[in-house]
Amino acid sequence: MKRVLFVCVENAGRSQMAEAFANYHGKGKLLASSAGNKPADKVNPVVVEAMKEKGIDISTNKPKMLTFQMAQDADLIVTMGCNDRGVCPGPFFKPTVDWKLEDPKGKPIEKLREIRDQIEHQVQDLLKQN
């Protein structure tokens, strides 16, 4: 089973959504996890609300610190658009793909829904490729 690691800075929004969608849609096909290099105290509550609208509960998820071991264990690493600000964790020694996604932090639920749906679409594309 392919292991995918979704990485962003705080592991409180985009990477949490990507992990949840990948595990939801990719059951039996891939195993997803997520982490950040400066984890927040909790998952963004607006992100939790947006995911509940899709029938996925991430309210008990906790942001995790990215470790070298996590990167080593992954078959593919997907960064969430933080490379353009030069704050993405790295360097990695694995295939890395950057999804240029807007940061949902501080955004209203309407904008979060757009980002969420974009992430779900990209996860489904990733599943088609693997």
What CATH number is attached to the domain comprising 66? 3.40.50.2300
Domain count, the chain: 1
Q: What is the pLDDT of residue 87?
A: 54
- Return the higher-pLDDT residue of 64 and 82: 64
Cα–Cα distance measured from residue 55 to residue 41, given in angstroms and rounded to the nearest whole number: 24
- Return the higher-pLDDT residue of 87 and 122: 122
Residues sharing a CB contact under 8 Å with residue 16, sequence separation 6 or more, in sequence order: 34, 43, 44, 47, 58, 61, 63
72-119 pLDDT per residue, tens: 999 999 998 765 555 555 555 667 888 989 988 899 999 999 999 999
Average pLDDT on 42-62 reads 97
Per-residue exposure over 18-53, b if at least 16 CB sit within 10 Å of its own CB, e if not: bbbbbbebbeeebbbbbbbbebbeebbebbbebbee
20 φ/ψ sector (left φ>0, alpha ψ -120 to 50, else beta): alpha
Reported as a pLDDT band with limits 50, 70 and 90, residue 16 is very high
Q: What is the pLDDT of residue 30?
A: 93
3-state helix, strand, coil in the chain (%, to 5): 40, 15, 45
pTM for the model stands at: 0.92
Residues sharing a CB contact under 8 Å with residue 50, sequence separation 6 or more, in sequence order: 17, 109, 112, 113, 116
Q: Find the domain containing 34 and state its range.
A: 2-129
Q: Helices (H), strands (E): how many in the chain? A: 4, 4
SS3 52: helix
Q: What is the pLDDT of residue 91?
A: 53
